Amino acid sequence: MTHSLDGIDFYQMGQICLGHTVRRTANLLTRHFNRYLAPYGLEITQAQLLAVIASGDSLSSSDIARYIGIDRSTLARNLKPLESAGLIARRKSGGRKVVPVLTEKGVELTAELHAAWEKAQRDLTQELGEETAEAIRGHLSALRKTVRRLEKTDPDKNAPPGNTALRSTSS
């Protein structure tokens, strides 16, 4: 079967695609926060990890990954340099559960990172306006809830029949 690309407006597809828009925005926001955190040698993902660990909730790696919205292998890659830098350690917490905890050095750095994060957040919120910032958080929350609901549906039910060449070669 031969398909034609005639009549498909790929520019418009990129303009209206929620996935593309959110990814572009996330990349831009990451750069914004990373500029403020650069003096500490960490990026926003690592700062978020330290903040979650600092919460004191004794979360497992699975809990942390789920909370931040990353997979466990990405979490492991991000925890490794924090542990190597002496910012976190792993501690047993009931049974076989091992949780990351901040070291003294980690506590000090996390407090400094929080101040830098607050400045980045404040600058962004002031530029947007509090009402707009709150609306964005609300819309993104609705988007996440919708995607979670859709994830529970049968993906084959909504997928058009198509070429599986990429899927079969990537395994």
pLDDT tens digits, the chain, 171 residues: what are they? 678 888 888 888 888 999 999 999 999 999 999 999 999 999 998 999 999 999 877 788 888 988 888 888 999 898 999 999 999 998 887 777 788 999 999 999 999 999 999 999 999 999 999 999 999 999 999 999 999 999 898 777 666 666 555 554 444
- The pLDDT score that the predictor gives to residue 158 is 62
- The pLDDT score that the predictor gives to residue 91 is 86
- Residue 47: exposed, middle, or buried by beta-carbon count in 10 A (0-12, 13-18, 19+)? buried
Neighbours of 88 (CB within 10 A): 24
Angle, alpha carbons 159-74-141 (nearest 5°) = 60
Q: Give the whole-angstrom CA distance, residue 64 versus residue 75.
A: 8
- The pLDDT score that the predictor gives to residue 96 is 76
Q: Give the whole-angstrom CA distance, residue 47 versus residue 37.
A: 8
**pTM for this model (two decimals):** 0.79
- The pLDDT score that the predictor gives to residue 87 is 97
- The pLDDT score that the predictor gives to residue 8 is 86
- The pLDDT score that the predictor gives to residue 169 is 47
Cβ–Cβ < 8 Å for 113, 122: no
Q: Give the whole-angstrom CA distance, residue 19 versus residue 27.
A: 12
Q: What phi and psi, each to the nearest 5 degrees, are found at residue 75?
A: -60, -45
Q: Give the whole-angstrom CA distance, residue 162 versus residue 1.
A: 11
